[in-house]
Every structure is written in structure tokens, then in C-alpha cells.
Amino acid sequence: MKKKRTIRIKDPRVRKVRNELRLLLHEAKSKEVIQKIEKQKKLKKSPHFWDEKHPNYTTLRKEDQKLASEVDRLRTIYDRSIIKCPVCMKLDKDMTYNPYYEGWYCIECYEANRVFNIEEGRPDLYP
Ligand SMILES: [Zn+2]
């Protein structure tokens, strides 16, 4: 998206459904990240992971890098999603999209950052 956009949900039943879905997505992401990090820990417990001369060394290192990049990818997608405000970390807020940072912020954090950035002479960061 290229434009600032705010999504407000007024109906309390719809808000409840939205919040439950966000929580579900948050938990699914966390579970996935934890599983990948646990796999990385297992890889690093192997003595072959640390032995450059072992034939499995390259395979283990590549698997570790693959897991690390998958975790980075998941976190990047999550951090820019509408699921959670990256400033206050709340999952149950109405959100505003920031086209400069290409991410969603709750309305309150967006407004606080917008005012701060105007004072700092950078109104372009929070239009
Ligand atoms: Zn916030």
C-alpha cells in the first residue's frame, strides 16, 4: 500500500472476532519461530556442527542458515502486519498503516509518533 490508512472497528462483536484472530495468528507465529529456534539449538549441539573437517559440517551449517533466514522472514512479515502494534505491542487496537515504514501501528502510537516527528522536522516519516 502507498497511502496512509486507518481501520477502525466499532462493533464490539466484530472487534472480539478480530482480536481472537490476531491472537491466533500471533500464537501460530510464535510457535513456528520457537520450533525453528529449537531445531537450530539441536543442530548446534551436534559436535559435527563445530568441526569444519567433518563431511556433515556444510550441510549442518546450511540447515542452520536456512532456519535463521526463515525466522527472520517470519518476524519481518509479523512486525509489518496488522496483528500487533510494534510500539506498544498490543494486539487489540484499531490500526493505522504507515506507507513510509510499510507497517501498521495502533492509532494512539501512530499519532504520538506523528507529533514527535513533526517536532523533529521529519513529518514525512508519519504522514
Ligand atoms: Zn501502539
> Under a CB-based contact definition with an 8 Å cutoff, are residues 72 and 53 in contact?
no
Question: So what's the pLDDT on residue 44?
Answer: 94
In angstroms, the first-to-last Cα distance of the chain is 14
3-state secondary structure at position 96: strand
- Give 112 Cα–ligand 1 centroid separation in angstroms: 9
Q: What is the pLDDT of residue 18?
A: 98
What does each of the 127 residues of the chain score in pLDDT, given as a tens digit? 889 999 999 999 999 999 999 999 999 999 999 999 999 999 999 888 999 999 889 999 999 999 999 999 999 999 999 999 999 999 999 999 999 999 999 999 999 999 999 999 999 999 9
Q: If you measure from the C-alpha of residue 13 to the centroid of ligand 1, how many angstroms do you get, rounded to a whole number?
A: 22
- Ligand 1 centroid – CA 91 distance (Å): 9
Residue 1 pLDDT: 82
Measure 5 CA to ligand 1 centroid, in angstroms.
Answer: 15
Ligand 1: centre distance to CA 71 (Å): 23
Give the Å distance between the CA of 60 and the centre of ligand 1.
40
| 86 CA distance to ligand 1 middle (Å) | 7
Compute CA distances 95 → 18, 101, 104, 125, whole Å.
12, 14, 6, 17
Measured in angstroms, how far is the CA atom of residue 85 from the centroid of ligand 1?
A: 5
